[in-house]
């Protein structure tokens, strides 16, 4: 009999762990597959670990991995995903904003021969501000990443074991499934849903967490920022060459430098210096990514497992 694996990353989700565990069992009750539920805890500071241990001791279908520290949601989630047993892996958030009620639909599409089925938000009951920010993020990513076709995708979905094995071959210190899927060219089927709001607990994601994810995603998946810097350098050379010729001609004609021209040049140089610093920052992000990849560190280090 085939097995469906569930990957549930969690961090400080003491109010949601039992609820999502119960919901998964409820949805799988009438489905003729064996199943395993893997929780990976990213060094929670609340009562999450105690709850997870209790569930694992009572239910042999539950696997619990506990990290030595908080390695970030991307790395922790990816490690759990790659180590979840099953012929198909269904990954979802512990906060129940990825509705467990969709589990039968995912499995039905998988049975029809689809290898990759993702949940796609058509609207959300989360903060309107954050939903707006997400929409702008997807628009910006489309400008820089030509293969990017997955809007409103969080990673929630079902992945056939063949897909998982291919994804596992690629080492990435900051995994982002959404871009990995498109870069590998997998055919994707969608299940549209309305994302419910979080009822219990508080999300560990902040605006700066999303900003960090956006920068990493851009650096990992597009070299267009570097190309823009190259074009900027060429245009700057042409501009200042023409400007210098103009200043020389003006000085010859007027036999002196005007104070206004000096002021304009100073402003231009100040703005130019600011842009140069920004360009150095962009290059630094790419160098930092290369250093991260060269270290070949494991995604996480486990403290214990149950």
Given this model, what pLDDT does residue 195 score?
82
CA dihedral (102, 107, 110, 115) in degrees, to 10, reads 70
- Evaluated on CA atoms 102, 103, 108, 111, the torsion sign reads positive
Given this model, what pLDDT does residue 167 score?
85
Given this model, what pLDDT does residue 304 score?
82
* pLDDT tens per residue across all 306 residues of the chain: 789 999 999 999 999 999 999 999 999 988 889 999 999 999 999 999 999 999 999 999 999 999 999 888 888 888 999 999 999 999 999 988 889 999 999 999 999 999 999 998 887 776 666 667 666 767 766 776 665 556 667 778 999 999 889 888 877 777 777 767 767 778 888 999 888 766 665 665 566 666 666 666 666 666 677 777 777 777 776 776 676 676 666 666 665 555 566 666 666 676 677 677 777 777 776 676 666 666 677 778 888 888
Q: What's the rounded Cα separation, in Å, for the pair 76 and 173?
A: 11
Given this model, what pLDDT does residue 231 score?
74
Tokens of 78: 């990816």
Q: What's the rounded Cα separation, in Å, for the pair 101 and 92?
A: 12
Long-range contacts of the stretch 163-172 (C-beta < 8 A, 24+): 163/115, 163/116, 164/81, 164/82, 164/89, 167/82, 168/82, 171/293, 171/296, 172/78, 172/220, 172/293
Given this model, what pLDDT does residue 301 score?
81
Q: Report angle CA 105, 110, 116 to the nearest 5 degrees.
A: 105
pTM above 0.95, yes or no: no
């Amino acid at each position: 009999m085939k097995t469906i694996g569930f990957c549930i990353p969690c961090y400080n989700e003491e109010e949601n762990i039992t609820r999502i565990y119960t919901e998964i069992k409820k949805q799988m009750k009438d489905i003729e597959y064996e199943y395993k539920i893997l929780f990976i805890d990213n060094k929670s500071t609340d009562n999450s670990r105690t709850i997870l241990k209790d569930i694992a001791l009572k239910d042999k279908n539950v696997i619990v991995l506990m990290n030595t520290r908080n390695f970030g949601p991307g790395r922790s989630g990816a490690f759990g995903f790659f180590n979840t047993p099953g012929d198909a892996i269904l990954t979802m958030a512990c906060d129940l904003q990825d509705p467990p009620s969709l589990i039968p639909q995912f499995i039905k599409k998988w049975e029809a021969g689809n290898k990759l089925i993702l949940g796609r938000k058509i609207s959300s009951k989360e903060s309107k501000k954050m939903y707006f920010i997400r929409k702008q993020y997807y628009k910006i990513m489309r400008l820089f990443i030509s293969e990017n076709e997955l809007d409103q995708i969080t990673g929630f979905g079902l992945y056939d074991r063949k897909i998982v094995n291919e994804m596992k071959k690629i080492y990435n210190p900051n995994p982002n499934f959404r871009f990995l899927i498109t870069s590998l060219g997998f055919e994707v089927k969608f299940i549209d849903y309305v994302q419910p709001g979080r009822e219990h607990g508080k999300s560990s994601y902040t605006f700066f967490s999303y900003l960090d994810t956006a920068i990493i995603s851009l650096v990992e998946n597009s070299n267009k920022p570097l190309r823009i810097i190259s074009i900027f350098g060429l245009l700057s050379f042409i501009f200042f060459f023409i400007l210098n010729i103009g200043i020389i001609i003006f000085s010859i004609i007027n036999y002196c430098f005007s104070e206004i021209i000096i002021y304009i040049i100073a402003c231009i140089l100040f703005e130019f210096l600011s842009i140069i610093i920004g360009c150095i920052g962009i290059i630094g992000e790419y160098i930092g990514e290369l250093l991260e990849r060269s270290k070949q560190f494991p995604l996480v280090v486990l403290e214990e497992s149950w």
